[in-house]
């Protein structure tokens, strides 16, 4: 049927335009603005006007030890969290996918960490990690182990933060993997049963290969978010001690809103933006290639 009135003929544009305009105004324009600020020395002060400095912010950043340390921290944190969450997430998905009583309730309980307010949870973990009164050391003592400094130690801080991230986000990997499990065909398992395969054999030779596309999607989504982790780090360590847990996101925030070096912060954010987009595109490309090769 051919729509008759003007409004109807242009419905698809009228319906999408407000949302598109909003995204252009609130997202695309600010990104371009950030790129522009990155070429200026800009301090938000009323007396000193912004000054064009060309690529000086970028070259200052590339020779800044603190920048490189934040790059390293971002990757160590992200890769560590991603590996642990993937292995644990698949294992827990297998565990919760079985039929048992109270399954739905247990699944919901397990999903709560990912909806709970991250800042509040960061503060709870701050108490858990408190060296003298925190639960973490009480547990260690219970098993006869020496107490640790956790987030107060430059050496243990990243691992301690990974634990928080694993607690918060493993449920997401499990959720996606469980959705993937429910789409697997039954026939290969019946054939394997006839051949007398053990549970482990079925897992490694059937379930895992068939789940591969699902796991890749889960890892990709998690990677996009883990690189941007802010709340749990800022509410527990603010990048400390001694900047040992300062990721790109945290350093950019500190440069911009504590030191008010808006130009330098913007150049860091442009690099961060390129990094996240680049890695995402790489993952999409990798996923396509892997799917072709299956």
Partner 1 sequence: MKKKTRITNAILSGLTFIVILAFSFPFIWMLLASFKTQAQIMSSDQFFVFQPTVKNYSNVFNQYDFLKFIINSFLVAAGSTFGSLLLGLPAAYAIARYQMQSIGLIILVARIIPGITFLIPWFIIFSKLGLVDSFTSLILSHMLVGLPFIIWVMISFFEGLPQEIEEAGLIDGCTHSQVFRRIVLPISGPGIITSSLLSFIFSWNNFMFSIILAGDQTKTLPVAVFNFMSYSEINWGALMAAACIITLPVLVIALLAQRYIVSGLAAGAVKG
Chain positions 49 to 88 lying near partner 1, rule: CB under 8 A, are none
- Tell me the C-alpha distance between 274 and 26, whole Å: 19
Q: How far is the CB of 242 from partner 1 (least distance, A)?
A: 19
Q: How far is the CB of 163 from partner 1 (least distance, A)?
A: 11
Binding mask 265-284 for partner 1 (x = CB under 8 A): xx--xx-xx--xx--x----
From the CA atom positions of the chain, what is the Rg in Å?
A: 24
Q: How far is the CB of 46 from partner 1 (least distance, A)?
A: 11
Closest residue by Cα to residue 229 from 73, 86, 113, 35:
73
Q: Is 27 in the site for partner 1 (CB under 8 A)?
A: yes
DSSP letter, residue 150: G
> Hey, which residues between 127 and 186 contact partner 1 (CB under 8 A)?
127-128, 133, 135, 138, 167, 170-172, 175-176, 179
Q: How far is the CB of 186 from partner 1 (least distance, A)?
A: 20
- Tell me the C-alpha distance between 71 and 235, whole Å: 20
Nearer to partner 1 by Cβ, of 83 and 284: the residue is: 284
Nearer to partner 1 by Cβ, of 98 and 155: the residue is: 98
Contacting residue, 65, 98, 194, 294, with partner 1 by CB under 8 A: 98
Q: Is 201 in the site for partner 1 (CB under 8 A)?
A: no
> Hey, which residues between 207 and 266 contact partner 1 (CB under 8 A)?
217-218, 221, 224, 227-228, 230-231, 234-235, 249, 252-253, 256-257, 262, 265-266
The residues near 137 (Cβ < 8 Å, ≥ 6 apart) are 130, 131, 147, 148, 150
The residues near 280 (Cβ < 8 Å, ≥ 6 apart) are 220, 223, 224
Rounded to 5°, the CA angle 225-103-180 comes to: 45
Question: How many residues contact partner 1, by CB under 8 A?
Answer: 88
Q: At what angle do helices 65-97 and 157-181 cross, to 10 degrees?
A: 40
| Strand spans (E) along the chain | 40-41, 51-52
Q: Is 121 in the site for partner 1 (CB under 8 A)?
A: yes
- Buried b or exposed e, range 57-75, using 16+ CB within 10 angstroms: bbeebeeeeebebbbebbe
Nearer to partner 1 by Cβ, of 133 and 155: the residue is: 133
Q: How far is the CB of 145 from partner 1 (least distance, A)?
A: 15
Nearer to partner 1 by Cβ, of 7 and 143: the residue is: 7
Q: Is 8 in the site for partner 1 (CB under 8 A)?
A: yes
Pull the structure tokens for residue 258: 């504590």
Q: How far is the CB of 217 from partner 1 (least distance, A)?
A: 7
């Amino acid at each position: 049927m051919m729509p008759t009135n003007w409004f109807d003929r242009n419905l698809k544009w009228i319906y999408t335009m407000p949302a598109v305009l909003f995204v252009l105004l609130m997202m695309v324009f600010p990104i371009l603005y950030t790129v522009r600020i990155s070429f200026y020395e800009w301090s938000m002060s009323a007396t000193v006007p912004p000054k064009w400095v060309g690529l000086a912010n970028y070259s200052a950043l590339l020779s800044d030890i603190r920048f490189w340390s934040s790059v390293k921290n971002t990757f160590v944190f992200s890769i560590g969290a991603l590996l642990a969450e993937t292995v644990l997430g698949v294992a827990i998905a297998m565990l919760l996918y079985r039929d048992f009583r109270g399954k739905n309730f247990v699944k919901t309980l397990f999903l709560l960490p990912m909806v709970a307010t991250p800042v509040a949870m960061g503060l709870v973990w701050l108490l858990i990690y408190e060296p003298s009164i925190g639960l973490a050391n009480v547990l260690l003592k219970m098993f006869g182990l020496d107490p640790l400094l956790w987030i107060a130690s430059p050496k243990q801080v990243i691992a301690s933060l990974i634990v928080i991230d694993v607690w918060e986000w493993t449920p997401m990997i499990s959720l996606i993997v469980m959705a993937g499990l429910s789409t697997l065909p039954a026939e290969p398992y019946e054939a394997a049963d006839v051949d007398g395969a053990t549970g482990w054999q079925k897992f490694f030779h059937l379930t895992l290969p068939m789940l591969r596309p699902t796991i890749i999607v889960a890892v990709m989504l998690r990677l996009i978010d883990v690189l941007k982790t802010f709340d749990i780090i800022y509410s527990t360590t603010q990048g400390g001690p001694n900047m040992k847990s300062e990721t790109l996101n945290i350093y950019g925030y500190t440069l911009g809103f504590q030191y008010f070096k808006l130009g330098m912060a913007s150049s860091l954010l442009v690099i961060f933006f390129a990094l996240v987009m680049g890695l995402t595109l790489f993952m999409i490309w990798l996923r396509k290639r892997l799917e072709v090769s299956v």
